[in-house]
Amino acid sequence: MAAAGSGGQGARDVLDRIGAEVQNIAHKAADKYKDELKGDLSKAKFLGVSRVPPDPCNLDHEIHTNVTTGKDDPCDRRWPVRFSDESRSQCTKNRIKDSTSDTVGACAPYRRLHVCDNNLENINDYNNINNHTLLVDVCLAAKHGGELLKGYHDIYKQTNPGSQLCTVLAQSFADIGDIIRGKDLYLGDEKEKLKLENNLKKVFSKIYHNLTDPKAKEYYNDDTDKNYYKLREDWWTANRATIWEAITCNAWGNTYFRATCGSGKTAIQASHKCRCEGANTDPPTYFDYVPQYLRWFEEWAED
């Protein structure tokens, strides 16, 4: 596992260190049934497809998907611009979950408003849902979102030289994690939000009923509303490394902001496509284990 290394003590560093501690706890909790939840891209099966590539960077949203209605493009109907000070109205209480007023609460950054999750909203081949095929669709959302972020970050950096692509990718990676786990604070369009969350509940209902270990079924049957929050949490933990690979497909020559590959004083920065090298495939980031509102506050402060 990537470890919390030494480095600076800015707000971003502190949050990432806190996330590392939370991730360590989550990792231990998920270990018990990890084999029941771990997806393998090469084991995914889709109608008319002879082979699914093991590398998420080679996935094709038109054929490697459980969306059969033609609405498989993750970024469809998402505004391509990823960095802007516009739409500050996304701070209002009708747009942000748990905000008490339009002036008190979290404020979604522009980048979050257009996360590429259209394919997740439109998954409809429920009979083909399993850990492997779900991982494919989540990786497609991450991959295409990462591509857009890379393209617009090159432009954004011309006037914001301190911005780092790996950090931006880590922020969106964490938002995808919140969406998958049912923790996302951004309400946005009410109908779309409800459609996405209801669809994910259906998807994870299939994942739950696919469990083969009776003890795992008992463990994850933890809520009467069938939100499957515990299952979704552990599924994310089991598969986040592959999803990080997907979102960093185009992050050539970029380095994570602090040393998290390795442990203690020997930890080094992820310097190849924002990834640790060698046998260590864990993401260098822990933002996905930091509460979303804290990440957003830090992101606004950074901008």
Is residue 218 in some structural domain? yes
Is 160 domain-assigned? Answer: yes
Tell me the C-alpha to C-alpha distance, in Å, between residue 216 and each of 231, 232, 279: 9, 13, 29
Per-residue model confidence (pLDDT) at position 89: 44
Give the three-state DSSP class for 96: strand
* Burial classification of residue 280, based on how many CB atoms lie within 10 Å of its CB (0-12 exposed, 13-18 middle, 19 or more buried): middle
pLDDT of the chain, 303 residues: tens digit per residue: 455 444 446 888 999 999 999 999 998 889 999 999 999 999 999 999 999 999 999 999 999 999 999 999 999 977 655 455 554 546 666 666 766 656 556 678 878 888 999 999 999 999 999 999 999 999 999 999 999 988 767 766 645 555 688 999 999 999 999 999 999 988 777 778 889 999 999 999 999 999 999 999 999 997 788 999 999 999 999 999 999 999 999 998 888 989 999 888 889 999 889 999 877 788 999 999 999 988 888 887 765
Within-domain flag for 27: no
Q: Is residue 182 part of a domain?
A: yes
Q: Is residue 223 part of a domain?
A: yes
Enclosing domain of residue 163 = 39-250
Q: Is residue 114 part of a domain?
A: yes
Q: What is the pLDDT of residue 94?
A: 61
Q: What is the DSSP string of 167-188?
A: HHHHHHHHHHHHHHHT---B--
pTM score above 0.85: yes
CA distances from 43 to 14, 37, 59 (A): 38, 13, 13
Secondary structure element (H or E) that encloses residue 24, with its range: helix 11-31
Integer Cα distance of 253 and 3 in angstroms? 21
Q: Is residue 151 part of a domain?
A: yes
CATH code: domain of residue 178: 1.20.1310.20
The pLDDT, as a whole number, for residue 5 is 45
pLDDT score for 157: 64
pLDDT of 284 reads 95
Q: In 10 A of CB 270, how many CB atoms?
A: 27
Residue 221: partners with Cβ closer than 8 Å, 6 or more residues away:
208
First to last CA, the chain: 30
Model pLDDT, residue 120: 98
Q: What are phi and psi of 261, to 5 degrees?
A: -90, 110
User: Could you give the CA distance from residue 235 to residue 229 in angstroms, rounded to a whole number?
Assistant: 10
How far out from the chain centre does Cα 241 lie?
A: 10
Cα–Cα distance for residue pair 292/300, rounded to 1 Å: 12
Give residue 225's pLDDT: 87
200: how many CB neighbours lie within 10 A of its CB?
22
> CA 160, CA 207: separation in Å to the nearest integer?
43
Secondary structure element (H or E) that encloses residue 245, with its range: helix 229-247
What is the separation of C-alpha 262 from the centre of its chain, rounded to a whole number of angstroms?
A: 22
Residue 4: what pLDDT? 45
Number of domains in the chain: 1
The answer to whether residue 32 sits within a structural domain is no
